[in-house]
Amino acid sequence: MPTQPRFRYEEVADFVAGLAARGALRPGTRAPSLRDISTQQRTSLSTAVQAYRLLEDRGILEARPQSGYYVAKAAPVLPVPAATRPSSRPAKVELSGLMLDLLAHASDETFVPLGCAIPSPRLLSSSKLDRILARTARVKGGHCNTYSPPRGEISLRLEIARRMLRFGKALSPEDIAITCGCTEALALALDAVTEPGDAVAIESPSYFGLLQVLRAKNLKVVELPTDAVTGISVDALQEVLAAGKVRACVLASSFCNPLGCTMPEEEKRAVLRLLARHRVPLIEDDVYGDIHFGEERPLPFSALDTHDNVIHCGSFSKTLAPGYRIGWITTGRHMGRVLESKFATTLATPVLTQVALAGFLQNGDYDRHLRRLRRSFSDTLERMARVIEQAFPPGTRVSRPEGGFVLWLELPRQVDTRELFSLALRKGVCFAPGVVFSGSGKYGHCMRLSGGHGWDARIEKGLRTLGAMVCRAAAGR
Ligand SMILES: Cc1ncc(COP(=O)(O)O)c(C=O)c1O
Protein backbone atom coordinates (compact mmCIF):
# COMPACT_ATOMS: atom_id res chain seq x y z
CA MET A 1 0.00 0.00 0.00
CA PRO A 2 1.37 3.42 -0.83
CA THR A 3 2.34 5.29 2.30
CA GLN A 4 2.37 8.73 0.72
CA PRO A 5 -0.54 10.44 -0.94
CA ARG A 6 0.21 10.51 -4.64
CA PHE A 7 -1.14 13.40 -6.67
CA ARG A 8 -2.10 13.05 -10.28
CA TYR A 9 0.28 15.86 -11.36
CA GLU A 10 3.19 13.94 -9.75
CA GLU A 11 2.31 10.88 -11.79
CA VAL A 12 2.24 12.96 -14.98
CA ALA A 13 5.57 14.53 -14.01
CA ASP A 14 7.08 11.07 -13.37
CA PHE A 15 5.83 9.90 -16.75
CA VAL A 16 7.56 12.81 -18.56
CA ALA A 17 10.71 12.48 -16.40
CA GLY A 18 10.82 8.79 -17.40
CA LEU A 19 10.69 9.72 -21.09
CA ALA A 20 13.64 12.07 -20.55
CA ALA A 21 15.58 9.49 -18.54
CA ARG A 22 15.14 6.82 -21.24
CA GLY A 23 16.24 9.25 -23.98
CA ALA A 24 12.82 9.30 -25.66
CA LEU A 25 12.87 13.03 -24.99
CA ARG A 26 16.34 14.32 -25.55
CA PRO A 27 18.14 17.26 -23.92
CA GLY A 28 17.48 20.58 -25.62
CA THR A 29 14.42 19.34 -27.54
CA ARG A 30 10.89 20.57 -27.08
CA ALA A 31 8.75 18.66 -24.55
CA PRO A 32 5.19 17.69 -25.54
CA SER A 33 2.91 20.72 -25.32
CA LEU A 34 0.69 21.06 -22.24
CA ARG A 35 -2.34 20.36 -24.38
CA ASP A 36 -0.79 17.22 -25.90
CA ILE A 37 0.35 15.81 -22.58
CA SER A 38 -3.02 16.48 -20.93
CA THR A 39 -4.83 14.73 -23.82
CA GLN A 40 -2.37 11.85 -23.87
CA GLN A 41 -2.45 11.38 -20.06
CA ARG A 42 -6.23 11.99 -19.88
CA THR A 43 -5.90 14.75 -17.38
CA SER A 44 -6.86 18.41 -17.10
CA LEU A 45 -4.74 21.22 -18.49
CA SER A 46 -4.19 22.63 -15.00
CA THR A 47 -2.81 19.25 -13.82
CA ALA A 48 -0.42 19.27 -16.79
CA VAL A 49 0.65 22.82 -15.85
CA GLN A 50 1.33 21.69 -12.25
CA ALA A 51 3.29 18.68 -13.52
CA TYR A 52 5.47 20.84 -15.78
CA ARG A 53 6.12 23.34 -12.97
CA LEU A 54 7.29 20.45 -10.81
CA LEU A 55 9.59 19.25 -13.61
CA GLU A 56 10.95 22.79 -13.92
CA ASP A 57 11.67 22.83 -10.17
CA ARG A 58 13.46 19.51 -10.54
CA GLY A 59 15.60 20.93 -13.37
CA ILE A 60 14.23 18.42 -15.90
CA LEU A 61 12.31 20.93 -18.04
CA GLU A 62 12.96 24.58 -18.89
CA ALA A 63 10.21 27.03 -19.83
CA ARG A 64 11.05 29.29 -22.77
CA PRO A 65 8.78 32.32 -23.16
CA GLN A 66 6.50 32.09 -26.22
CA SER A 67 8.07 28.81 -27.19
CA GLY A 68 6.95 26.21 -24.65
CA TYR A 69 8.80 23.70 -22.47
CA TYR A 70 12.14 22.13 -23.36
CA VAL A 71 14.07 19.24 -21.89
CA ALA A 72 16.98 20.74 -19.94
CA LYS A 73 20.37 20.20 -21.52
CA ALA A 74 22.59 17.61 -19.90
CA ALA A 75 25.54 19.05 -18.00
CA PRO A 76 28.60 19.00 -20.27
CA VAL A 77 31.26 16.44 -19.42
CA LEU A 78 34.25 17.76 -21.37
CA PRO A 79 35.92 21.09 -20.57
CA VAL A 80 35.92 23.90 -23.13
CA PRO A 81 39.16 24.58 -25.06
CA ALA A 82 41.72 26.67 -23.22
CA ALA A 83 41.95 30.39 -24.06
CA THR A 84 44.41 30.84 -26.93
CA ARG A 85 47.69 32.78 -26.54
CA PRO A 86 49.01 33.80 -29.96
CA SER A 87 51.89 36.25 -30.40
CA SER A 88 50.93 39.92 -30.54
CA ARG A 89 53.40 40.65 -33.34
CA PRO A 90 51.91 41.80 -36.68
CA ALA A 91 52.64 39.03 -39.15
CA LYS A 92 52.00 38.13 -42.77
CA VAL A 93 49.23 35.59 -43.26
CA GLU A 94 50.78 32.23 -44.11
CA LEU A 95 48.08 29.88 -45.28
CA SER A 96 48.07 26.15 -45.06
CA GLY A 97 47.87 24.36 -48.40
CA LEU A 98 45.18 22.22 -46.77
CA MET A 99 42.58 24.92 -47.24
CA LEU A 100 41.95 24.23 -50.92
CA ASP A 101 41.98 20.53 -50.20
CA LEU A 102 39.37 21.07 -47.52
CA LEU A 103 37.15 23.14 -49.80
CA ALA A 104 37.38 20.56 -52.59
CA HIS A 105 36.42 17.66 -50.31
CA ALA A 106 33.89 19.54 -48.20
CA SER A 107 31.54 20.00 -51.15
CA ASP A 108 31.91 16.36 -52.23
CA GLU A 109 28.82 14.56 -50.98
CA THR A 110 30.53 11.18 -50.87
CA PHE A 111 32.32 12.28 -47.67
CA VAL A 112 30.62 12.51 -44.27
CA PRO A 113 30.12 16.30 -44.22
CA LEU A 114 31.79 17.43 -40.99
CA GLY A 115 34.15 19.72 -42.92
CA CYS A 116 32.75 22.99 -44.23
CA ALA A 117 30.26 25.17 -42.39
CA ILE A 118 27.51 24.92 -44.99
CA PRO A 119 23.89 24.34 -43.94
CA SER A 120 22.31 21.36 -45.65
CA PRO A 121 19.70 22.28 -48.32
CA ARG A 122 17.46 19.78 -46.50
CA LEU A 123 17.32 22.17 -43.51
CA LEU A 124 16.79 25.32 -45.56
CA SER A 125 13.40 26.49 -46.83
CA SER A 126 14.60 25.60 -50.31
CA SER A 127 11.35 24.58 -51.99
CA LYS A 128 9.53 27.72 -50.85
CA LEU A 129 12.44 29.85 -52.01
CA ASP A 130 12.53 27.93 -55.32
CA ARG A 131 8.87 28.76 -55.92
CA ILE A 132 9.42 32.45 -55.17
CA LEU A 133 12.48 32.50 -57.42
CA ALA A 134 10.55 30.87 -60.27
CA ARG A 135 7.64 33.29 -59.88
CA THR A 136 10.03 36.26 -59.76
CA ALA A 137 11.68 35.11 -63.01
CA ARG A 138 8.25 34.66 -64.64
CA VAL A 139 6.72 37.92 -63.51
CA LYS A 140 9.72 40.24 -63.23
CA GLY A 141 12.23 38.58 -65.55
CA GLY A 142 12.88 41.75 -67.60
CA HIS A 143 13.41 43.89 -64.52
CA CYS A 144 15.86 41.33 -63.14
CA ASN A 145 17.98 40.97 -66.24
CA THR A 146 19.96 44.14 -65.75
CA TYR A 147 22.51 45.69 -63.40
CA SER A 148 21.10 46.52 -60.00
CA PRO A 149 21.61 50.05 -58.59
CA PRO A 150 25.02 50.47 -56.88
CA ARG A 151 23.63 49.73 -53.40
CA GLY A 152 21.50 46.84 -54.66
CA GLU A 153 17.77 46.20 -54.88
CA ILE A 154 15.72 48.58 -52.77
CA SER A 155 13.15 45.89 -51.87
CA LEU A 156 15.85 43.75 -50.23
CA ARG A 157 17.54 46.68 -48.51
CA LEU A 158 14.17 47.65 -47.03
CA GLU A 159 13.71 44.14 -45.62
CA ILE A 160 17.22 44.09 -44.15
CA ALA A 161 16.65 47.52 -42.56
CA ARG A 162 13.39 46.21 -41.11
CA ARG A 163 15.14 43.20 -39.59
CA MET A 164 17.84 45.37 -38.06
CA LEU A 165 15.19 47.41 -36.27
CA ARG A 166 14.59 44.32 -34.12
CA PHE A 167 17.86 44.82 -32.39
CA GLY A 168 17.45 48.56 -32.12
CA LYS A 169 19.44 49.61 -35.16
CA ALA A 170 17.44 52.22 -37.08
CA LEU A 171 18.80 52.34 -40.62
CA SER A 172 17.51 53.68 -43.88
CA PRO A 173 17.93 51.51 -47.01
CA GLU A 174 20.51 54.12 -48.13
CA ASP A 175 22.78 52.98 -45.27
CA ILE A 176 22.90 49.43 -46.66
CA ALA A 177 24.64 47.99 -49.72
CA ILE A 178 23.98 44.48 -51.02
CA THR A 179 27.07 42.36 -51.66
CA CYS A 180 28.00 38.96 -53.10
CA GLY A 181 27.90 37.18 -49.74
CA CYS A 182 29.51 38.21 -46.49
CA THR A 183 32.89 37.50 -48.08
CA GLU A 184 32.54 40.44 -50.44
CA ALA A 185 31.21 42.60 -47.59
CA LEU A 186 34.35 41.86 -45.54
CA ALA A 187 36.60 42.55 -48.54
CA LEU A 188 34.88 45.88 -49.29
CA ALA A 189 35.06 46.91 -45.64
CA LEU A 190 38.80 46.19 -45.57
CA ASP A 191 39.27 48.17 -48.81
CA ALA A 192 37.48 51.12 -47.21
CA VAL A 193 39.60 51.36 -44.06
CA THR A 194 43.03 49.83 -44.77
CA GLU A 195 45.95 50.09 -47.20
CA PRO A 196 48.15 47.15 -48.30
CA GLY A 197 50.79 46.45 -45.64
CA ASP A 198 48.57 47.56 -42.70
CA ALA A 199 47.89 45.14 -39.85
CA VAL A 200 44.43 44.09 -38.69
CA ALA A 201 43.52 42.64 -35.28
CA ILE A 202 41.49 39.41 -35.43
CA GLU A 203 40.31 36.56 -33.20
CA SER A 204 42.52 33.51 -32.98
CA PRO A 205 41.58 30.94 -34.26
CA SER A 206 39.81 32.79 -37.06
CA TYR A 207 37.57 31.90 -40.03
CA PHE A 208 39.87 30.79 -42.88
CA GLY A 209 37.94 32.75 -45.53
CA LEU A 210 38.78 35.95 -43.66
CA LEU A 211 42.45 34.95 -43.54
CA GLN A 212 42.32 34.40 -47.28
CA VAL A 213 40.83 37.86 -47.90
CA LEU A 214 43.42 39.50 -45.62
CA ARG A 215 46.22 37.77 -47.46
CA ALA A 216 44.84 38.68 -50.89
CA LYS A 217 44.81 42.33 -49.80
CA ASN A 218 48.37 42.09 -48.54
CA LEU A 219 47.32 42.88 -44.98
CA LYS A 220 49.13 41.60 -41.90
CA VAL A 221 47.35 40.24 -38.87
CA VAL A 222 47.67 40.51 -35.12
CA GLU A 223 46.02 37.39 -33.73
CA LEU A 224 44.40 38.23 -30.37
CA PRO A 225 44.17 35.83 -27.40
CA THR A 226 40.63 34.46 -27.51
CA ASP A 227 38.53 32.66 -24.92
CA ALA A 228 36.22 29.89 -26.16
CA VAL A 229 33.27 31.39 -24.27
CA THR A 230 33.82 35.14 -23.96
CA GLY A 231 35.88 35.94 -27.05
CA ILE A 232 38.94 38.18 -27.41
CA SER A 233 40.87 39.51 -24.45
CA VAL A 234 40.00 43.19 -24.10
CA ASP A 235 43.28 43.79 -22.24
CA ALA A 236 45.28 42.33 -25.11
CA LEU A 237 43.40 44.50 -27.59
CA GLN A 238 44.14 47.53 -25.43
CA GLU A 239 47.88 46.78 -25.53
CA VAL A 240 47.84 46.27 -29.29
CA LEU A 241 45.97 49.55 -29.79
CA ALA A 242 48.21 51.47 -27.39
CA ALA A 243 51.24 50.26 -29.36
CA GLY A 244 49.61 51.58 -32.57
CA LYS A 245 49.99 48.19 -34.22
CA VAL A 246 46.72 47.91 -36.16
CA ARG A 247 44.69 49.94 -38.63
CA ALA A 248 41.43 47.98 -38.20
CA CYS A 249 39.89 45.19 -36.19
CA VAL A 250 37.66 42.37 -37.50
CA LEU A 251 35.52 40.48 -34.99
CA ALA A 252 32.52 38.18 -35.09
CA SER A 253 29.33 39.73 -33.70
CA SER A 254 28.48 36.43 -31.98
CA PHE A 255 29.05 32.63 -32.22
CA CYS A 256 32.40 33.16 -33.89
CA ASN A 257 33.70 30.59 -36.32
CA PRO A 258 35.39 28.31 -35.30
CA LEU A 259 35.48 28.84 -31.48
CA GLY A 260 31.77 29.59 -31.04
CA CYS A 261 32.47 32.39 -28.54
CA THR A 262 30.30 35.46 -28.00
CA MET A 263 31.56 38.51 -26.15
CA PRO A 264 29.35 39.62 -23.26
CA GLU A 265 27.64 42.93 -23.95
CA GLU A 266 29.73 44.85 -21.41
CA GLU A 267 32.94 43.64 -23.06
CA LYS A 268 31.59 44.58 -26.48
CA ARG A 269 30.99 48.10 -25.15
CA ALA A 270 34.53 48.18 -23.75
CA VAL A 271 35.93 47.14 -27.15
CA LEU A 272 33.89 49.87 -28.85
CA ARG A 273 35.15 52.53 -26.42
CA LEU A 274 38.76 51.45 -26.90
CA LEU A 275 38.54 51.35 -30.68
CA ALA A 276 36.84 54.73 -30.85
CA ARG A 277 39.50 56.24 -28.57
CA HIS A 278 42.26 54.97 -30.86
CA ARG A 279 40.30 55.77 -34.05
CA VAL A 280 40.53 52.19 -35.22
CA PRO A 281 37.37 51.03 -37.03
CA LEU A 282 35.68 47.73 -36.25
CA ILE A 283 34.46 45.45 -39.02
CA GLU A 284 31.98 42.97 -37.60
CA ASP A 285 30.98 39.67 -39.19
CA ASP A 286 27.41 38.84 -38.17
CA VAL A 287 26.88 35.86 -40.42
CA TYR A 288 25.78 33.54 -37.56
CA GLY A 289 23.83 36.08 -35.43
CA ASP A 290 20.36 34.79 -36.38
CA ILE A 291 21.22 31.24 -35.27
CA HIS A 292 20.99 31.84 -31.52
CA PHE A 293 19.90 28.99 -29.25
CA GLY A 294 18.84 31.27 -26.39
CA GLU A 295 15.72 33.43 -26.48
CA GLU A 296 17.47 36.65 -27.40
CA ARG A 297 19.68 37.41 -30.37
CA PRO A 298 22.94 38.79 -28.94
CA LEU A 299 23.29 42.44 -29.92
CA PRO A 300 25.87 43.02 -32.63
CA PHE A 301 28.54 45.66 -31.99
CA SER A 302 26.82 48.02 -34.44
CA ALA A 303 23.70 48.09 -32.24
CA LEU A 304 25.84 49.22 -29.27
CA ASP A 305 28.05 51.65 -31.21
CA THR A 306 27.66 55.35 -30.47
CA HIS A 307 30.70 56.55 -32.45
CA ASP A 308 29.86 55.60 -36.06
CA ASN A 309 32.90 53.35 -35.94
CA VAL A 310 31.46 49.95 -36.93
CA ILE A 311 31.02 48.40 -40.35
CA HIS A 312 28.47 45.61 -40.13
CA CYS A 313 28.71 42.65 -42.55
CA GLY A 314 26.16 39.86 -42.87
CA SER A 315 24.60 37.44 -45.31
CA PHE A 316 21.89 34.84 -45.82
CA SER A 317 24.46 32.10 -46.46
CA LYS A 318 24.16 30.34 -43.09
CA THR A 319 20.41 30.57 -42.69
CA LEU A 320 18.72 30.47 -46.05
CA ALA A 321 20.60 30.48 -49.32
CA PRO A 322 24.37 29.89 -49.44
CA GLY A 323 24.14 29.44 -53.22
CA TYR A 324 22.45 32.79 -53.86
CA ARG A 325 25.57 34.62 -52.71
CA ILE A 326 23.66 37.50 -51.12
CA GLY A 327 25.10 39.50 -48.25
CA TRP A 328 25.09 43.11 -47.11
CA ILE A 329 27.20 45.79 -45.55
CA THR A 330 26.22 48.81 -43.48
CA THR A 331 29.04 51.25 -43.67
CA GLY A 332 28.29 54.51 -41.91
CA ARG A 333 30.61 57.18 -43.22
CA HIS A 334 32.50 54.75 -45.49
CA MET A 335 29.72 54.18 -48.06
CA GLY A 336 31.46 56.15 -50.84
CA ARG A 337 34.67 54.08 -50.70
CA VAL A 338 32.71 50.85 -50.36
CA LEU A 339 30.66 51.58 -53.49
CA GLU A 340 33.77 52.50 -55.48
CA SER A 341 35.38 49.26 -54.45
CA LYS A 342 32.22 47.28 -55.24
CA PHE A 343 32.17 48.82 -58.70
CA ALA A 344 35.77 47.77 -59.27
CA THR A 345 35.26 44.16 -58.12
CA THR A 346 31.84 42.77 -59.00
CA LEU A 347 30.12 45.92 -60.32
CA ALA A 348 26.68 44.74 -59.17
CA THR A 349 25.05 41.84 -57.32
CA PRO A 350 22.75 39.54 -59.38
CA VAL A 351 19.23 40.98 -59.31
CA LEU A 352 17.00 37.90 -59.59
CA THR A 353 18.20 36.33 -56.34
CA GLN A 354 17.96 39.67 -54.51
CA VAL A 355 14.34 40.17 -55.55
CA ALA A 356 13.45 36.55 -54.71
CA LEU A 357 15.00 36.86 -51.24
CA ALA A 358 13.13 40.11 -50.65
CA GLY A 359 9.91 38.26 -51.60
CA PHE A 360 10.70 35.48 -49.12
CA LEU A 361 11.34 37.99 -46.33
CA GLN A 362 8.18 39.97 -47.16
CA ASN A 363 6.17 36.76 -46.84
CA GLY A 364 7.05 36.60 -43.15
CA ASP A 365 8.27 33.00 -43.45
CA TYR A 366 11.83 33.72 -42.41
CA ASP A 367 11.25 33.84 -38.67
CA ARG A 368 9.36 30.55 -38.63
CA HIS A 369 12.15 29.02 -40.71
CA LEU A 370 14.80 30.44 -38.34
CA ARG A 371 13.05 28.97 -35.29
CA ARG A 372 13.15 25.51 -36.91
CA LEU A 373 16.74 25.92 -37.99
CA ARG A 374 17.91 27.00 -34.53
CA ARG A 375 16.23 23.98 -32.95
CA SER A 376 17.83 21.68 -35.48
CA PHE A 377 21.36 23.07 -35.05
CA SER A 378 21.11 23.21 -31.27
CA ASP A 379 19.95 19.59 -31.22
CA THR A 380 22.68 18.51 -33.66
CA LEU A 381 25.49 20.16 -31.69
CA GLU A 382 24.16 18.66 -28.47
CA ARG A 383 24.17 15.16 -29.99
CA MET A 384 27.59 15.68 -31.51
CA ALA A 385 28.97 16.73 -28.11
CA ARG A 386 27.51 13.57 -26.50
CA VAL A 387 29.18 11.32 -29.09
CA ILE A 388 32.47 13.22 -28.74
CA GLU A 389 32.36 12.59 -24.97
CA GLN A 390 32.08 8.86 -25.65
CA ALA A 391 34.28 8.37 -28.71
CA PHE A 392 37.22 10.79 -28.35
CA PRO A 393 40.23 10.23 -26.07
CA PRO A 394 40.75 11.65 -22.57
CA GLY A 395 42.20 15.16 -22.81
CA THR A 396 39.74 16.23 -25.52
CA ARG A 397 38.11 19.62 -24.99
CA VAL A 398 35.09 20.82 -26.91
CA SER A 399 33.49 24.23 -27.37
CA ARG A 400 29.99 24.98 -26.12
CA PRO A 401 28.56 27.55 -28.54
CA GLU A 402 25.24 29.21 -27.81
CA GLY A 403 24.53 29.50 -31.53
CA GLY A 404 25.81 28.76 -35.03
CA PHE A 405 26.58 25.20 -36.03
CA VAL A 406 30.25 24.40 -35.53
CA LEU A 407 32.22 22.78 -32.71
CA TRP A 408 35.92 23.40 -32.03
CA LEU A 409 37.88 20.53 -30.53
CA GLU A 410 41.22 20.77 -28.77
CA LEU A 411 42.85 17.34 -28.76
CA PRO A 412 45.81 15.90 -26.87
CA ARG A 413 48.99 17.69 -28.08
CA GLN A 414 50.44 14.63 -29.84
CA VAL A 415 47.50 14.48 -32.27
CA ASP A 416 48.35 16.13 -35.59
CA THR A 417 45.10 16.89 -37.37
CA ARG A 418 46.97 17.69 -40.62
CA GLU A 419 47.98 14.03 -40.87
CA LEU A 420 44.61 12.91 -39.64
CA PHE A 421 42.88 14.90 -42.38
CA SER A 422 44.10 12.72 -45.25
CA LEU A 423 43.67 9.53 -43.20
CA ALA A 424 40.07 10.49 -42.42
CA LEU A 425 39.36 11.27 -46.08
CA ARG A 426 40.49 7.74 -46.91
CA LYS A 427 37.83 6.52 -44.48
CA GLY A 428 35.24 8.77 -46.10
CA VAL A 429 35.09 11.48 -43.40
CA CYS A 430 35.81 15.17 -43.97
CA PHE A 431 36.58 17.62 -41.14
CA ALA A 432 38.42 20.95 -40.95
CA PRO A 433 41.96 20.66 -39.54
CA GLY A 434 42.82 23.36 -36.98
CA VAL A 435 45.76 24.77 -38.90
CA VAL A 436 43.55 26.38 -41.56
CA PHE A 437 42.18 28.73 -38.89
CA SER A 438 45.51 30.39 -38.18
CA GLY A 439 47.71 32.67 -40.28
CA SER A 440 50.80 31.33 -38.55
CA GLY A 441 50.47 27.55 -38.54
CA LYS A 442 48.92 27.19 -35.08
CA TYR A 443 46.25 24.77 -33.87
CA GLY A 444 47.76 21.63 -35.41
CA HIS A 445 46.18 19.60 -32.58
CA CYS A 446 42.70 21.07 -33.06
CA MET A 447 39.83 20.47 -35.44
CA ARG A 448 36.53 22.07 -36.31
CA LEU A 449 33.45 19.92 -36.88
CA SER A 450 30.40 21.26 -38.66
CA GLY A 451 26.85 20.36 -37.66
CA GLY A 452 25.45 22.08 -40.75
CA HIS A 453 24.17 18.80 -42.16
CA GLY A 454 21.86 18.17 -39.19
CA TRP A 455 21.83 14.89 -37.30
CA ASP A 456 21.55 11.43 -38.86
CA ALA A 457 23.09 7.98 -38.56
CA ARG A 458 25.80 8.78 -41.11
CA ILE A 459 27.00 11.79 -39.09
CA GLU A 460 27.07 9.68 -35.91
CA LYS A 461 29.04 6.92 -37.63
CA GLY A 462 31.46 9.45 -39.16
CA LEU A 463 32.03 11.03 -35.74
CA ARG A 464 32.72 7.66 -34.14
CA THR A 465 35.14 6.74 -36.95
CA LEU A 466 36.94 10.03 -36.42
CA GLY A 467 36.95 9.51 -32.64
CA ALA A 468 38.58 6.09 -33.06
CA MET A 469 41.26 7.60 -35.32
CA VAL A 470 41.98 10.37 -32.82
CA CYS A 471 42.23 7.78 -30.02
CA ARG A 472 44.82 5.84 -32.04
CA ALA A 473 46.77 9.03 -32.81
CA ALA A 474 46.67 10.06 -29.13
CA ALA A 475 48.03 6.64 -28.15
CA GLY A 476 50.87 7.02 -30.70
CA ARG A 477 49.60 4.19 -32.93
C1 LIG B 1 32.49 33.64 -40.05
C2 LIG B 1 32.14 33.58 -41.51
N3 LIG B 1 32.07 34.71 -42.20
C4 LIG B 1 31.77 34.70 -43.52
C5 LIG B 1 31.55 33.52 -44.18
C6 LIG B 1 31.26 33.55 -45.64
O7 LIG B 1 29.96 34.03 -45.86
P8 LIG B 1 29.34 34.10 -47.32
O9 LIG B 1 29.12 32.70 -47.78
O10 LIG B 1 28.09 34.88 -47.15
O11 LIG B 1 30.32 34.82 -48.19
C12 LIG B 1 31.62 32.32 -43.49
C13 LIG B 1 31.41 31.03 -44.19
O14 LIG B 1 31.80 29.98 -43.70
C15 LIG B 1 31.91 32.35 -42.11
O16 LIG B 1 31.98 31.24 -41.39
Question: What is the CATH classification number for the domain harbouring 264?
Answer: 3.40.640.10
Look at residue 144 and tell me if it is in a domain: yes
Residue-level pLDDT at 107:
79
Look at residue 168 and tell me if it is in a domain: yes
Categorise residue 257: left if φ over 0, alpha if ψ from -120 to 50, beta otherwise: beta
Look at residue 351 and tell me if it is in a domain: yes
- The 10 Å CB-count burial string (b at 16+, else e) for 279-299 is ebbbbbbbbbbbbbbeeebbb
Q: Is residue 212 domain-shared with residue 358, that is, in the same domain?
A: yes
Q: Is residue 179 domain-shared with residue 264, that is, in the same domain?
A: yes
Number of domains in the chain: 2
Q: Is residue 173 domain-shared with residue 299, that is, in the same domain?
A: yes
Distance 448 CA to ligand 1 centre (A): 15
Which atom from ligand 1 is nearest to the alpha carbon of 118? 14
Distance 470 CA to ligand 1 centre (A): 28
Q: For ligand 1, say whether the CB of 181 is within 6 Å of any of its atoms.
A: yes
Contact 96, 435 (CB under 8 A): yes
Q: For ligand 1, say whether the CB of 290 is within 6 Å of any of its atoms.
A: no
User: What would the mean pLDDT of 391-397 be, rounded to a whole number?
Assistant: 97
Distance 36 CA to ligand 1 centre (A): 40
Q: Is residue 316 domain-shared with residue 200, that is, in the same domain?
A: yes
220-224 and 282-285 beta bridge pairing: unpaired
Range of the domain at 330: 124-362
Look at residue 407 and tell me if it is in a domain: no
Q: Is residue 156 domain-shared with residue 262, that is, in the same domain?
A: yes
Q: Which residues on adjacent β-strands are paired with residue 231?
A: 227
**203-233 pLDDT, tens digit each:** 999 999 999 999 999 999 999 999 999 999 9
Label residue 167 by pLDDT band (50, 70, 90).
Answer: confident
Q: Is residue 234 domain-shared with residue 337, that is, in the same domain?
A: yes
Look at residue 435 and tell me if it is in a domain: no
The separation between the first and the last C-alpha atoms of the chain, rounded to the nearest angstrom, is 60
Domain boundary among 327, 362, 397: 362
Domain boundary among 343, 362, 381: 362
Q: Is residue 182 domain-shared with residue 256, that is, in the same domain?
A: yes
Distance 182 CA to ligand 1 centre (A): 6
Instruction: Give, for ligand 1, the residue of 184, 207, 211 to mutate: max count of ligand atoms closer than 8 Å to Cβ.
Output: 207
Label residue 255 by pLDDT band (50, 70, 90).
Answer: very high
Label residue 126 by pLDDT band (50, 70, 90).
Answer: confident
Residue-level pLDDT at 1:
43
Domain boundary among 362, 391, 412: 362
Look at residue 147 and tell me if it is in a domain: yes
Q: For ligand 1, say whether the CB of 287 is within 6 Å of any of its atoms.
A: yes
Look at residue 462 and tell me if it is in a domain: no
Q: Is residue 180 domain-shared with residue 317, that is, in the same domain?
A: yes
Q: Is residue 150 domain-shared with residue 44, that is, in the same domain?
A: no
Q: Is residue 67 domain-shared with residue 128, that is, in the same domain?
A: no
CATH of residue 21: 1.10.10.10
**41-100 pLDDT, tens digit each:** 999 999 999 999 999 988 899 888 777 898 887 777 899 999 999 988 999 998 878 888
Look at residue 440 and tell me if it is in a domain: no
SS3 3: coil
Q: Which residues on adjacent β-strands are paired with residue 282?
A: 249, 310
Distance 356 CA to ligand 1 centre (A): 21
